[in-house]
């Protein structure tokens, strides 16, 4: 299983690169899976493609590209309370197209630093749980939480896994990447 994530199509990742990934996955016979598929997908090769943060207008503009390749992707949503009515409608349409909508926090905070400064309960109550709860209230069955910046601890993992089936984090061990999240 290959996991790839990006942020703002056309800004942090060129649209032709996204199309290259989609075509490459299709040409190699990789299934497009969302994070909610993980529990039920039969073993075999696949790709988990996700986009993070708040770029719903840019994601929405890729609908025809996703459809062209029969790609299903996961959108990890941060800053959801700030979405306009139009953006919420676009997100609903992406979900209706078969894409996954998952939680990525309210304020996109780095978990370890926030927990150290304010405590685990504050991090859960102010950033994680409202993200999950608001999305669920709007009809999205949340199965996964993606850490902003991939920043996590075993303590935050245990606490968040009481509310979702999966967590996504990232680690970079190769040079040239200063931060996995540009925002």
174 in a structural domain: no
179 — pLDDT class (breaks 50, 70, 90):
low
Q: In this predicted model, what pLDDT tens digit does every residue of 7-51 receive, in sequence order?
A: 999 999 999 999 999 999 999 999 999 999 988 888 899 999 999
| pLDDT at res. 162 | 97
Q: What percent of the chain has pLDDT over 90?
A: 85
| pLDDT at res. 151 | 87
In terms of residue numbers, what domain contains 29? Answer: 2-168
| pLDDT at res. 181 | 57
| pLDDT at res. 149 | 87
| pLDDT at res. 176 | 54
CATH number of the domain within which 111 lies: 3.20.20.370
179 in a structural domain: no
Question: How is residue 108 written in tokens?
Answer: 């996109």
176 in a structural domain: no
Given a cut of 90, is residue 94 above it in pLDDT? Answer: yes
| pLDDT at res. 183 | 53
Compute the Cα dihedral for 18, 22, 28, 31 and give only its sign: positive
Q: What is the DSSP letter of 30?
A: P
157 CB-near residues (< 8 Å, 6+ apart): 167
| pLDDT at res. 169 | 87
How many domains are contained in the chain?
1
102 in a structural domain: yes
Q: CA angle, corner 5, sides to 147 and 166, nearest 5? A: 45
| H or E element, residue 16 | helix 15-27
123 in a structural domain: yes
Give the mean model confidence (pLDDT) for residues 148-176.
85
């Amino acid at each position: 299983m290959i996991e790839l994530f990006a942020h703002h199509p056309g800004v942090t990742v060129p649209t032709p690169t996204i199309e290259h990934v989609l075509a490459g996955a299709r040409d190699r016979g990789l299934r497009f899976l969302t994070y909610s598929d993980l529990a039920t997908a039969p073993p075999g090769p696949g790709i988990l493609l996700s986009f993070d943060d708040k770029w719903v207008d840019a994601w929405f503009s890729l609908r025809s590209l996703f459809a062209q390749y029969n790609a299903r992707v996961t959108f990890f949503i941060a800053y959801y309370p700030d979405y306009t009515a139009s953006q919420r409608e676009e997100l609903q349409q992406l979900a209706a197209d078969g894409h996954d909508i998952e939680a990525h926090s309210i304020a996109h905070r780095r978990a370890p630093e926030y927990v150290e400064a304010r405590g685990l309960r504050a991090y859960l109550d102010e950033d994680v749980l409202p993200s999950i709860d608001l999305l669920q209230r709007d009809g999205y069955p949340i199965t996964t939480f993606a850490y902003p910046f991939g920043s996590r601890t075993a303590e935050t993992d245990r606490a968040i896994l009481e509310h979702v089936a999966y967590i996504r984090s990232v680690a970079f061990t190769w040079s040239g990447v200063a931060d996995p999240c540009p925002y």
